[in-house]
Amino acid sequence: MSDFLFEIYTDEIPAKQINSAISQLKTNFEEFLKEFNLRTGKVQGFGTPRRLVIYIEQVEDKEDDSIIEIKGPSLNSAISENNQKLQPYLKFIEYNGLTEQEIEIKEVKGNKYVFGIKKISGRASKEILKEVSINAVKSLNFPRMMRWNETNMEFIRPIRNLLSMLGDEIVPVELAGIRASNKTFGFFFDSPLEIDIKSPKDYFTKIREKYIILDFNERKRIVEQRANELANKINGKVILDEEFLEEIINMTEFPTPFLCLMDMDMSSLPDCIIESIVKDHLKSLPIFKKDGTGILPHFIGVRNGTSDFIENVKKGYERVAKARILDGIFFFNEDKKNRLESNIEALSEVAFISNLGSLKDKTVRLVKLSEYVSSVFNLSKHESYALKRAAYLCKADLLTNVVNEFPELQGEIGSIYAEFEGENKNVADTIKEHLLPKYAQDKLPISNTGKLLSLIDKVDTIVGSILSGVEFSSSRDPYGLRRTIGGIVEILLNMGGESIPIREIIEQSIKIYLEENANLHGESEQILQVIKERTSSSLKEKGYDYDLVNSVLSLNIDLITSFKNRCEVLKKYKRDENFKLIIQTHKRVRNLISKAEFSIEGVKKEFFVDESENKLYQMIVETEELLADLLKTKDYEAIIHLLYLLIPEVTKFFENVLVMDKHKAIRNNRLNLLVELKEIFESFADFSEIVID
């Protein structure tokens, strides 16, 4: 038994892709190993910008032996009565490379057959690992691959060296013209430090001595701990955003955080610009005041290397920061020379989505849509103004120097400039919020007008794309339309209120497009379908089982604002014994109605024959009244209890009468009673979709 180690030494791998590369490589090893009978310990993966490492403890020397049975011809046809071996027999052993010792006669379902029993001795693990390593590497997938030498192998970055050892033996893997050996390289100080490795265990010792920290989590601990200490020293705090942290940690093989000062007047510059400079340009951590009221003139750089001569590195970072801040001040001052409003004409020169005109056209549409939703939602005069004004101004910051330099500040800069130019706070906030959420799990708009502008901005994008036939899928989505749909759904699901006329808003958006360009075509149904699909996956991601999700998705999509609450209540009551009765009753009612042929003409008391019919009808009328109020106040738990009260009457009804009575009038009347009952159930959810275990 030996340990196995595999290291791909490369030029710098893009920081954002290292962790995914490690986990892909690990999974590939696990998958390819499954094809063999080789017993191993667990597969572990590590990596830095310069190396991807796989370590498997306790690999057996060879695969387990296995036995295979090959069924041959029937005994009668293979061997004659006088024990003569016939043609089929000879052919069988020749074809399968069998010897006489491997032949057995076995009975299958009463008939005798010739069988070859072959013992396959397991292959040597060295051979298997060679094959697995090559396949595991070749099956890696990255968004952008490259070629770098005459082999034209594609990989994320050039492979420079391969180390592959099983115990003290080299596993002769060959990739991109490079043969694996037992040497690798330590940290690059003035030159690459070559190291000879005796065994996998020896590798981990030596690589650490040469200033390589292989484990991402260990590097992360170092950065987090030291960054917090450094920030504390100046009475500040760092905000450790996981994704950004991963990026800066994965730019290092040996991280050393250090504190820098921006010793200059930055008072004129909004904090968000300073933050962007520190993060984007310097790949460093900004430091905020402890109480969260603003940014400090310090930041934390993370050196790839030790603390030796770190004052040189610090000086360099500080100098770059200064130059960038000066740039920022220049851009900010240039922007202040113009009003946001003066950019709007020029938006006609900024393309929106192909065939959908410019951002000026989009602005015009947004203003129209904002007027429409203002009236639909009956917004106050103040809010209507804010929404319309923000709709008009929201894209104008795209043409500012600062957004050109820091695209991620779009919206935020528009908001700052708007307030600066004397727009009211509501307008400024709406501009800032209209791009939220920018990604999954991002924060949502808070203000009412922010929600509405974000919604119509995204609806306009999706409607336009679908009308002009832009195709998008998980693998190809150049305009980020899936993210846009995700944004629409998150806003709707969290909008609050009983319902939202989303269908009408979409229809209005289509109408506005068609006024602009009669060549476009499409239906609101198409767009609603896309929204429904996304709603379904979003609710499931939030932890609601598929059956509950299906049961609310069959409701009118305008009720989307209440889907989460409904799911929550269904989830709470699903295990209730009584709840099962609701499901069963709903199913029964639905089945009866769907099988019967009848016309819907309302319930007529005069056709009631049994008292249970009358009682049920009374109950239905009372329930309907209460239900309307409970739906309005979104008191969904009370609705479940209301249904609980209704069920016994329904049960009695089914016990006492036969719905499918031979008299047509009585039958019809009972069916019509059930239709009303069904509507009550389905005003809350399609219970029949719910699965009872």
* Positions in the binding site for other proteins (CB under 8 A): 11-12, 14-16, 49, 144, 146-150, 152, 157-158, 188-192, 251, 282-283, 301, 303-305, 308-309, 312-313, 315-317, 319-323, 326-327, 330, 348-351, 358
Provide, rounded to whole angstroms, the least separation between the CB of residue 323 and other proteins. 5
Provide, rounded to whole angstroms, the least separation between the CB of residue 141 and other proteins. 15
Query: Between 95 and 188, whose beta carbon lies closer to other proteins?
Result: 188
Query: Between 302 and 552, whose beta carbon lies closer to other proteins?
Result: 302
Task: Write the Ramachandran bin of 442: left for phi over 0, alpha for psi from -120 to 50, otherwise beta.
Answer: beta
Query: Between 303 and 434, whose beta carbon lies closer to other proteins?
Result: 303
Q: What is the CA radius of gyration of the chain?
A: 35
Query: Between 312 and 537, whose beta carbon lies closer to other proteins?
Result: 312
| Contacts for 485 with CB less than 8 Å, ≥ 6 apart | 458, 462, 530, 531, 534
Provide, rounded to whole angstroms, the least separation between the CB of residue 313 and other proteins. 5
DSSP letter string, 407-452: GGGTTHHHHHHHHHTT--HHHHHHHHHTT---STTPPPP-SHHHHH
Burial of 471 (0-12, 13-18, 19+ CB in 10 A): exposed
| Contacts for 441 with CB less than 8 Å, ≥ 6 apart | none
Q: Could you say which DSSP state residue 607 is in?
A: G
Q: Helix 563-573 to helix 636-656 angle, to the nearest 10 degrees? A: 60
Provide, rounded to whole angstroms, the least separation between the CB of residue 676 and other proteins. 58
Provide, rounded to whole angstroms, the least separation between the CB of residue 274 and other proteins. 16
Phi and psi (nearest 5°) for 435?
-95, -5
Query: Between 404 and 424, whose beta carbon lies closer to other proteins?
Result: 404
> How crowded is residue 613: how many other Cβ atoms within 10 Å of its Cβ?
21
The answer to whether the peptide bond before residue 501 is cis (omega within 30 degrees of 0) is no
Query: Between 16 and 39, whose beta carbon lies closer to other proteins?
Result: 16
Phi and psi (nearest 5°) for 16?
-70, -10
* CA-to-CA dists, residue 18 to 283, 317, 538, 676, angstroms: 16, 24, 28, 59
Query: Between 140 and 453, whose beta carbon lies closer to other proteins?
Result: 140
Coil, strand or helix at 336: helix
Query: Between 313 and 492, whose beta carbon lies closer to other proteins?
Result: 313
List alpha helices for 149-282, DSSP H. Answer: 200-209, 216-233, 242-249, 271-276
Provide, rounded to whole angstroms, the least separation between the CB of residue 355 and other proteins. 12
Query: Between 10 and 524, whose beta carbon lies closer to other proteins?
Result: 10
Distance of CA 16 to the CA centre of its chain: 16
- Angle (nearest 5°) at CA 56 between 165 and 197: 30
Query: Between 25 and 321, whose beta carbon lies closer to other proteins?
Result: 321
Provide, rounded to whole angstroms, the least separation between the CB of residue 531 and other proteins. 30
For residues 159 and 140, the answer to whether their CB atoms sit within 8 Å is no
For residues 341 and 393, the answer to whether their CB atoms sit within 8 Å is yes
| Contacts for 342 with CB less than 8 Å, ≥ 6 apart | none
Provide, rounded to whole angstroms, the least separation between the CB of residue 301 and other proteins. 7
- CA dist 427 and 382 (Å) reads 10
| Contacts for 409 with CB less than 8 Å, ≥ 6 apart | 272, 273, 276, 402, 403
Provide, rounded to whole angstroms, the least separation between the CB of residue 326 and other proteins. 7
Provide, rounded to whole angstroms, the least separation between the CB of residue 130 and other proteins. 23
How many residues can be counted in the chain? 693
Provide, rounded to whole angstroms, the least separation between the CB of residue 306 and other proteins. 9
Query: Between 146 and 240, whose beta carbon lies closer to other proteins?
Result: 146
Query: Between 108 and 351, whose beta carbon lies closer to other proteins?
Result: 351
Provide, rounded to whole angstroms, the least separation between the CB of residue 125 and other proteins. 31
